[in-house]
Chain A
Amino acid sequence: MDLVSLLIGAILINNFVLHYFLGICPFLGVSKKIDAAMSMGLAVTFVMTITAVVSWLVNHRILIPYGLDYLQIVAFILVIASLVQLVEMFIRKTSPPLYQAMGIYLPLITTNCAIMGLALLAALKNYDFVEAVVFGVGSGLGFTLAIVLMAAIREQLDLADVPEPLRGAGIALIVAGIMALAFLGFSGVIK
């Protein structure tokens, strides 16, 4: 598979949120305002790209050569937890407003299954280094696209008269379902 179709596939077709159901918690939790959604998306993209690089190195340079691949889960989660910690410290120092905007969801990137899913899927699909990085960037952008679109729709939904039991999570999930349906239309874009 060439890199361009890998990238487009990761953004539009195998979208992390709408196809793999990864990263649903932030997708539902931080999608009330567009700017917060945007910063969350960018934070995830950033962490995903670094994770793709580091987890590939850990997997192919340490675990596999020494026959330790059964430690994959433990190794990946530790790599991700420390990476997120670093990113959090970096953002808190450089951009307090951004740090404010992301609130409690930044530490939660650690348990964001999208990040872990990325490391696992890249290992499962046996991507080489460049492919893994492209997959990481594409998946992050796909997540950003989905969460920003979702936030845009939810800002409009605030003005709509939604039946009371459906407010909040219910209507958000149904909107996500319709988005997933719309994204199915992209599946013919690459062979």
Chain B
Amino acid sequence: MPSKTAAEDFFKGLWLENPVFRQMLGMCPILAVTNTVVNGLAMGLATSFVLVSSSFLISLIKKLIPSQVRIASYIVVIATFVTIADRLLAAYFWDISKALGPFVPLIVVNCIILGRAEAFASKNTVGRSVLDALGMSAGFILALFVLSSIREILGSGAFLGFRILGPWFEPWIIMVLPAGAFITLGIMMAISIQVERKRKRG
């Protein structure tokens, strides 16, 4: 879908081309780090940082990269920014860095980032690429936020670490386990497909 205006470049990432619900990219972190909202948001922000920075740099140097080695070059660019994000998190937010474990370094293999580099940043101007990356990041954070909110509220009766449901609430342990992540995302996926079908029918 070719987008024309700056607004479209940004907003398509939120819903029409949402990386998680529409393109099914970046599924691993979506499932792995959404047991609490704090983890989900931290992951979303770290991924956004890498996505926006690498889209910016790749669209800036796209003419300098020979097309045969472009994927390898993109990966090195992405890996560099991931290393920066990983070191920053470890230096200033040790607890979060510890909780996310190998998933911060694993941003390097998040298909959203390489996907946007290859599909968008390598073909478009710097400004549009940054807007596109911001939109995709927003869509990714949105998905992480919704899923981690559902899992934290149902799994521990809390939101952002504060208990919001009274003592009557028996936490659904399954929601903090891997199984809960899969099932919740499956249901969310079905809901998003249903909404999209309704919308298309008008």
The answer to whether A and B interact is yes
Stretch of A31-39, A113-121, A135-143 with 4 or more beta carbons under 8 angstroms from chain B: A113-121
- Which residues of chain B (87-108) have a CB below 8 Å from chain A? 87, 101-102, 105-106, 108
Number of A interface residues in the complex (CB < 8 A): 44
A124 to B103 CA separation, bound complex (whole angstroms)? 12
Q: Quick check: A21 and B183 within 8 Å, CB to CB?
A: no
Residue pair A74, B182 in contact (C-beta under 8 Å): no
Q: Is B197 an interface residue (CB 8 A)?
A: yes
By the criterion of a CB under 8 Å from any partner CB, how many residues of chain B are at the interface? 43
Are B178 and A171 within 8 A (Cβ)?
no
Q: Are A73 and B190 in contact (CB under 8 A)?
A: no
Residue from B29, B76, B108, B194 in contact with A165 in the complex, judged by beta carbons closer than 8 Å = B194
Q: Is A86 an interface residue (CB 8 A)?
A: no
Question: Cβ of B179 and Cβ of A73 under 8 Å apart?
Answer: no
Cα distance, A23 to B109, chains bound together (Å): 10
CA–CA, A171 to B87, complex, Å? 38
- Name B's interface SS: helix
Evaluate contact between B189 and A170: CB separation under 8 angstroms.
yes
Q: How far is the CB of B158 from chain A (nearest CB, A)?
A: 22
A65 and B162 alpha carbons, distance in the complex (Å): 45
Cβ A73 vs Cβ B102 within 8 A = no
Q: Contact between B194 and A73 (Cβ–Cβ < 8 Å)?
A: no
Q: How far is the CA of A169 from the CA of B31 in the complex (A)?
A: 14
In the assembled complex, the CB of B24 is this many whole angstroms from the nearest CB of chain A, namely 6
Could you say which of B4-12, B57-65, B77-85 contacts chain A?
B77-85
Partner of B72, one of A23, A81, A116, A163: A81
Q: Say which one of A42-50, A53-61, A178-186 lies at the interface with B.
A: A178-186
Q: Known contacts A25-B28, A173-B189: does B106 contact A180 (CB below 8 Å)? A: no
Partner of B182, one of A108, A115, A166, A173: A173
Most buried by A among B29, B174, B185: B185
Cβ-closest chain B residue relative to A72: B105
Complex contacts, B185 vs chain A, CB 8 Å: 173
Contacts of A120 in B (CB 8 A): 102, 105-106
A121 touching B190 in the complex, CB below 8 Å, given contacts A18-B178, A112-B109, A174-B182: no
In contact, B190 and A165 (Cβ under 8 angstroms): yes
Q: Nearest CB to that of B79 among chain A residues?
A: A74
A127 near B: Cβ within 8 Å? no
Interface residues of B (CB under 8 A from A): 24-25, 27-29, 31-32, 71-72, 75-76, 79-80, 82-83, 86-87, 101-102, 105-106, 108-111, 114, 174, 177-183, 185-187, 189-191, 193-194, 197
Q: List 26 A-B contacts (CB under 8 A).
A: A21-B28, A21-B178, A28-B27, A70-B83, A72-B105, A73-B86, A74-B83, A77-B75, A77-B109, A78-B72, A78-B76, A111-B109, A112-B109, A116-B106, A120-B105, A124-B102, A166-B186, A169-B186, A169-B189, A170-B186, A170-B187, A173-B182, A177-B183, A177-B186, A180-B182, A184-B179
